[in-house]
Structure 1
Amino acid sequence: MGEKQICIDTLCDLETVTSPSLSPDGKTVLAVVTSIDHVKNDYISNVYSFKVQEKNVPLQLTFGTNKHISPKWSPTGHAFAFLSDRSGRMQLFVKVGLADARQLTDVDGAVTKFSWAPDGRHIVFSTRVKARGSIEEAAQDHLPQPHVVEKMKYKSDSRGMFDDSVQQMALVSTDKAEVTWLTNDHYDIQLHGFSPDGSALLMSGDERDHHDFSFLADLWLLSLEDGKREKLTSASLVILDACFSPDGAYVAILGHQREFENATQPKLFLYKRATKTVQMLAEDKDVYIGDVMIGDFLQQVVDQGIKWTDDSQAIDALVSQKGAVHLWRFHLNGDVTTLIEGAQHIHGYDIQSDCVVATMSTVERPSAVYSVNLRTDDLVLIHDGNEQLSLEKSYPEPVYYERDDGTFVAGWLMKPTHFEEGKKYPLILEVHGGPHAMYGVTYFHEFQVLCAQGYGVLFTNPRGGHGYGQTFVDAVRSDYGGGDFRDLMDVLDFTLAQHDWIDRSRLGLTGGSYGGFMTNWVIGHTNRFKAAVTQRSISNWISFYGVSDIGYYFTEWQIGADLSDIATLWHHSPLKYVEKVETPLLILHSENDLRCPIEQAEQLFIALKRLGKEATFMRFPEANHELSRSGKPNLRFARLQAIVDWFEKYL
């Protein structure tokens, strides 16, 4: 049987497998398998178990059409806990063997994170509760209420409008499901886990009253015996993750000191409990520690953070580098070894002794589970639920453009799926968001759909992207529309010179978020593109400063100006150059987008239409900034169809 051509709704046939958890004996891995339910117009996630040694058929452990996510084995391996929304909001459940899962929590807010106690009899979890008041469940008034705003941080794209709740921690027993609240603070508490002996909890938070310009946190140790807190750090870090060494002598911290604001690469720090001092590990490694790959396919990816080796002498972590995500081991003596490398996107992992399980994405295998024996380096495919689909794909070819001064732009070129030598094809330049993110070798459904429709796709990492060192990622700040614009045009020119199958008269351009900003900027500075699609974009930095959930600080960090410097904000605003636009533009924007609010699209559309320019505006209800990745399936399909139709019309 021949291969099947990829189309937009192929997404309904594909499954993603994420969030691996390896059993204490290293023989069985739990993972979350997610697929699209066309009828519900939603995503279904269930927990499956896989044998580690060889490729095998998984055993389904949760059922139904809800979301069952974030499985974690108990320390003894006799049970596992997970989160489920089967009761209406995410709550904590535990499952022993093949028996039905038991619900452990019924708290007012959704459970956001949890961690097993070393004894396996308790689980600590975090959830949002009312600030400075009773944490008992209160009667809810379902009538609409006004929002009273007194702080600058009063909304976010993920949470919507803030209420007065804060994230707190509680302990629940696994036998009687009795909940004991551990914190009742006026600020958010981030849960990091237990001490090895189970006597204390590691947590972080910012206890200061004014948080509008606070992005740092303290690390605390909370005694479960008497509730006393020991401060380990002094508000000097952005803390992304932290965990105890198995011997209890150290605390590993993943974070940074905001040297380059949100462009700062995370680093590993080591807190020594005996001396109460902090030192940086692998200071000479100029890499991003973590997974910063951009994609539009994977679902329910959970940041699994950093993990200690059993001997307390090294820390394992994912590392994003040059368009791939690898697994590294950072030794306390300063050495660094690579556990898994290659052209793939590792987005989840777990380790027991010499066995590693990892969930990975590549174009060849969009979502699969592997095991690696660290003694032999043998990589074994455990499960690929998409293998039987036998899809026709286009495979990225590396592109690398280097200037005489040593500056460079790296990326990938994909040919049309049914490419024939001697024929000419249109090319679409894709620009990623962020800007501090990374395109790479993960499966990207939008790219495959475009290639299947007969387009070539060029996607690159211009300055500002991660994966190429701190200097590279910082280079875009205060220079939006400058060096980044030159990077995109230069790498496009380089690619055109290298590949004569590309029809220079049929070039398209698209991107989202920062990529949408760049799309708007580019068509205001060159007419070389025959069609463009801008998505969840920025057009006016002056209004963005006040309307975005991150506007007032992001604008200062990235553009280097605030509302006292309107000239600079306007200089970097694509709206200033709208009279020069000659490229037909499709504007796609979500109505609930609080990151790049829809007024950015509205301004751009009206300005273009008032000048008689060719522009169409498509609004997506009930969608936020994450539409292309995790929005309602029908809206994701409509978005892709609109992009295909626009380029078909003009290219």
Structure 2
Amino acid sequence: MDSEPSSKRPHMKLYATNLFLRCMLVVLLSAVLSLPVTGIAAADSDQRVRTTDLTRIQQLTQVSVSPDGTHALYVVRSVVPQDDSYGYVNQIWMVRIDEEGHQPVQLTRHPAGASQPAWHPDNERIAFTRTIDGTSQIYVMSLRGGEAVPYTQAEQGAANPVWSSDGSMLLFSSTYSHSELLAKDAFRQGPAWPVEKPGIDPLPRNHTITPDPDGSLEEIRAWLDQNERENSPAVLNRLDFQGERRLSPERSYTHWFVMDDRPRAEPRALTLHTGFHSFSGAAWMWDDQNIVLSGNMQTAQHPDRVRDSYIYTLNIHEPEPARMLGTPSFSYSNPLPSADGRLIAFRVFDNSERGYNQAYMGVHDLRSNTTRYIGMDVDRNLGNMTWSRDSNNLYATAPKNGGFPLFRINARTGEAQRITDTETGVRAFDLNRGVLVYVLTSWENPFELYTATLNAENPRRISDHNHSWIAGRQLSEPVKHTFTNSEGLEIEYWVMKPANYEPGQRFPTLLQIHGGPSAMWGTGEASMWHEFQLFTAHGFGIVFSNPRGSGGYGYDFQRANHRDWGIGPMNDVLGSLDAAARQYSWIDTDQLVITGGSYGGYLVAYVIAKDHRFVAAAAQRGVYELSTFFGEGNAWRLVPDRFGGFPWESDVQRVLRHDSPFTHVHQIRTPLLILHGDVDLRTGVSQSEMMYKALKVLERDVEFIRYPGADHELSRSGNVHHRKDRLLRMIEFFKRYTAEN
């Protein structure tokens, strides 16, 4: 295994030299033989990224360094054959990091996979979770050999294992549905907060009554309640009734338990007695007798209407949560005690402007009972916090200018230092005893594991999950540029040449638009790596950008699309295309195509209603009528958050109508491919149905691709067959209207 850094690829220069020599040889032979030469040499097509390379990409997550700093665990998510198709599986790998030259080894191989690895303090065992028949349980494995031992048998499942510092106890969570709590004697009367059942709140429950559809009113209610518990029919009273792919008529609640370090030990409930409340991010305090976690125990409102969260502590022997930190209208989460036991770090988010505010951090000193807030000057969404071993610094990642750099923030002074570049992305990471271990995304490779010093210096690649097979592929490098829009904002965009690029020729070019709208694209973002390279392999140049409203550029930039989802962002993405076309003569402005997903699908439809330069377009899982979206999508809060109100308010209604692509559907002339999953509840498939039907009535060129059983994650983690089909549908559709048809 190559142990040298691979942030740059020297072999690409050698490949380019060889390619140039081969092309020159072809030209000379063609001149001699009087044969025409077009495109790229046939042998080179085998080097291009393929559709089926999608199944070769391995995703790396959940990095954890051992207590003694000698080894690291991480999780690899792979596409694996299953029956006649493909599925996904997570497995745990381990690599030695205190010496060079060691290759990672796969620890788990069970078909059900494994995730959430947690080191035992003795460095010789790990806990992890495995899901079988839909229920997750915790297992413990010795690193000296032998089979994994099941530790829990929780009826509601077990997840998020955390060892106490002495290794004598294991903390874990279980999740209960609303009806599962109601079935317990202690919670039969329901929650203290209003369930919002109209005319009968709180709902009286007399469990001694026999259900009877022909009986008294009480017996009829008992019969109806029985049907409701069986979800036949679904009875909706909550505000957030939509999940990602199915209705969610009832809430669920995460509670925490502790068990002794032995298989199937009887767990002790820590928060279950609070019933209809939910807690997350539990961590041990320094004394192994108390834990810290986040949640909200208010009872005045239905939890669907509450966004605030607080930091609580509780003693494992007298588990009554006590609020330690929090301020109304803020979310406090991810509490993380320092190694010296003195400080607790946490993440803070101001809920007043959820669409635009940036998350920062707080540090609470347990001795002085004082709190310091840090990281605001970074002006980016800080997350994935980790303490340094000396308790002096916090490490965190944040999106920034197309990358996901790592920041080091002094816990006492608040001084923030970016220690990795904005051209790459640090995904999962951990550190201990002077070693930083992290998953890195770059344009050359979407996922690989690296080590470095705590200053992120002397990086060294220590895995080869994607490196070797990608080394045999011809890649197109995204080149960053900027232009200044009419509002004075600097817009960053990237240009990628087609794989068959030859000087003097012109090529069809694809304008790609990201979703969100507060997502961010760049060379440090992994989700589009294969798609972009595949389009270039099929002869398309690519232009992609981060228009106003994108994340990774701070509060002011992100808020620049407030009450303006259409005109302003449209001018930015078209401005990036115009700037690219002025700089790159190979961009054929007579053969432009456009696509985007989610909000990107929205903006595709808006653009082609206003601008007719594109010969074809593909709008994916988009939102096209904003008032309707408010009712049918689980991301409905984007409407009040980004437009400052609700569809029934006249001034908001005017903006929503103007900014809805469906309002301008009659102006669309560009041939349009519409793609959507038929159980997508993030945006709602009827959004695409409306656009398709309208364009069909107008007798425009339109085709609708609807994927069965697919939700909003179709392009990222959906059915592998559907993911490949989606890519090729767009490529084939675009080639109908370009010179390569």
TM category (shorter chain) comes to over 0.9
CA contact (8 A) 2:517 2:600 kept: yes
* Counterpart AA for 1:104: Y
Of 506, 509, 516, 1:424 maps to: 506
CA distance in 1, matches of 2:661, 2:80: 39
Once the two structures are superposed, the pairs formed by residues 408-487 of structure 1 within 5 Å of their partners are 408-441=490-523, 442-443=525-526, 444-487=529-572
CA distance in 1, matches of 2:660, 2:163: 49
Which segment is superposed worse, 348-357 or 138-147? 138-147
More strand by share: 1
Of 725, 731, 738, 1:644 maps to: 731
Q: Deviations over 1:356-403 (max 9, x none)?
A: 000111121221111012379211110122222122211100121124
Which segment is superposed worse, 261-270 or 167-176? 167-176
Q: Deviations over 1:144-185 (max 9, x none)?
A: 622111111122217752434312112233313222221122
**1:624 CA displacement:** 0.9
* Counterpart AA for 1:327: L
Once the two structures are superposed, the pairs formed by residues 352-391 of structure 1 within 5 Å of their partners are 352-374=432-454, 377-389=457-469, 390-391=472-473
Q: Determine the structure 2 residue equivalent to 1:297.
A: none
CA distance in 2, matches of 1:419, 1:240: 49
**1:458 CA displacement:** 0.9
CA contact (8 A) 2:236 2:249 kept: no
Q: Deviations over 1:477-536 (max 9, x none)?
A: 211112111111111111111111000011111111111111111111111111111111
Residues 1:182 and 2:270 aligned together: yes
Distance 1:337 1:140, change over 3 A: farther
Residues 1:256 and 2:349 aligned together: yes
**1:435 CA displacement:** 0.9
CA distance in 2, matches of 1:568, 1:403: 22
3-state secondary structure, aligned to 2:288 = coil
More helix by share: 2
CA distance in 2, matches of 1:475, 1:316: 29
CA distance in 2, matches of 1:591, 1:287: 35
Distance 1:109 1:458, change over 3 A: farther
Once the two structures are superposed, the pairs formed by residues 214-293 of structure 1 within 5 Å of their partners are 214-236=306-328, 237-290=330-383
Q: Determine the structure 1 residue equivalent to 2:207.
A: none
Residues 1:38 and 2:50 aligned together: no
3-state secondary structure, aligned to 2:264 = coil
Q: Determine the structure 1 residue equivalent to 2:131.
A: 85
CA distance in 2, matches of 1:61, 1:191: 26
**1:8 CA displacement:** 1.1
Q: Determine the structure 2 residue equivalent to 1:102.
A: 149
Of 42, 46, 56, 1:13 maps to: 56
Residues 1:114 and 2:176 aligned together: no
**1:607 CA displacement:** 0.8
CA distance in 1, matches of 2:92, 2:655: 51
CA contact (8 A) 1:548 1:597 kept: yes
Of 649, 664, 670, 1:577 maps to: 664
**1:625 CA displacement:** 0.6
CA contact (8 A) 1:354 1:375 kept: no
CA distance in 2, matches of 1:526, 1:470: 29
CA contact (8 A) 2:257 2:269 kept: yes
* Counterpart AA for 1:476: N
**1:649 CA displacement:** 1.1
CA distance in 2, matches of 1:376, 1:6: 31
CA contact (8 A) 2:89 2:112 kept: yes
* Counterpart AA for 1:329: R
Distance 1:281 1:613, change over 3 A: same
Of 315, 318, 328, 2:407 maps to: 328
Q: Deviations over 1:38-91 (max 9, x none)?
A: 334201221111121335332111113323112121222121111212454222
Which segment is superposed worse, 573-582 or 638-647? 638-647
3-state secondary structure, aligned to 2:253 = strand
CA contact (8 A) 1:156 1:162 kept: no
**1:345 CA displacement:** 1.2
Q: Determine the structure 2 residue equivalent to 1:151.
A: 238
Q: Deviations over 1:526-559 (max 9, x none)?
A: 11111111111001111111111131x2211112
Q: Deviations over 1:19-53 (max 9, x none)?
A: 21111121111111222123342012211111213
CA contact (8 A) 1:239 1:255 kept: yes
Residues 1:193 and 2:283 aligned together: yes
CA contact (8 A) 1:220 1:230 kept: yes
Distance 1:494 1:130, change over 3 A: closer
3-state secondary structure, aligned to 1:542 = helix
Q: Deviations over 1:591-615 (max 9, x none)?
A: 1111101011111111111111111
Residues 1:538 and 2:623 aligned together: yes
Q: Determine the structure 1 residue equivalent to 2:390.
A: 311
CA distance in 2, matches of 1:434, 1:612: 31
Once the two structures are superposed, the pairs formed by residues 115-130 of structure 1 within 5 Å of their partners are 115-130=162-177
3-state secondary structure, aligned to 1:391 = coil
Of 45, 48, 51, 2:96 maps to: 51
Provide the alpha-carbon RMSD of the alignment: 2.4
Q: Determine the structure 2 residue equivalent to 1:496.
A: 581
Which segment is superposed worse, 374-383 or 4-13? 374-383
Q: Determine the structure 2 residue equivalent to 1:601.
A: 688
CA contact (8 A) 1:20 1:357 kept: yes
CA distance in 2, matches of 1:608, 1:531: 14
* Counterpart AA for 2:110: G
**1:130 CA displacement:** 3.8
Distance 1:336 1:163, change over 3 A: same
CA distance in 2, matches of 1:333, 1:158: 45
* Counterpart AA for 2:69: G
Q: Deviations over 1:229-263 (max 9, x none)?
A: 22112443223422112222221111211242132
Once the two structures are superposed, the pairs formed by residues 54-69 of structure 1 within 5 Å of their partners are 54-69=100-115
Unaligned runs of 5+ in 2: 1-14, 16-43, 189-225
3-state secondary structure, aligned to 2:491 = strand
Unaligned runs of 5+ in 1: 291-304
* Counterpart AA for 2:285: S
Distance 1:109 1:602, change over 3 A: farther
**1:16 CA displacement:** 2.2
**1:339 CA displacement:** 3.6
Distance 1:111 1:559, change over 3 A: farther
Q: Determine the structure 2 residue equivalent to 1:564.
A: 648
CA contact (8 A) 1:289 1:317 kept: yes
3-state secondary structure, aligned to 2:670 = coil
Q: Deviations over 1:413-456 (max 9, x none)?
A: 11101211111101111111111121011341111110000001
CA distance in 2, matches of 1:451, 1:617: 24
Q: Deviations over 1:196-218 (max 9, x none)?
A: 21111111112233223321111
Larger radius of gyration: 2
3-state secondary structure, aligned to 2:305 = coil
**1:342 CA displacement:** 5.2
Which segment is superposed worse, 443-452 or 245-254? 245-254
**1:617 CA displacement:** 0.6
CA distance in 1, matches of 2:315, 2:443: 47
* Counterpart AA for 1:449: L
CA distance in 2, matches of 1:528, 1:213: 45
Once the two structures are superposed, the pairs formed by residues 161-176 of structure 1 within 5 Å of their partners are 161-176=248-263
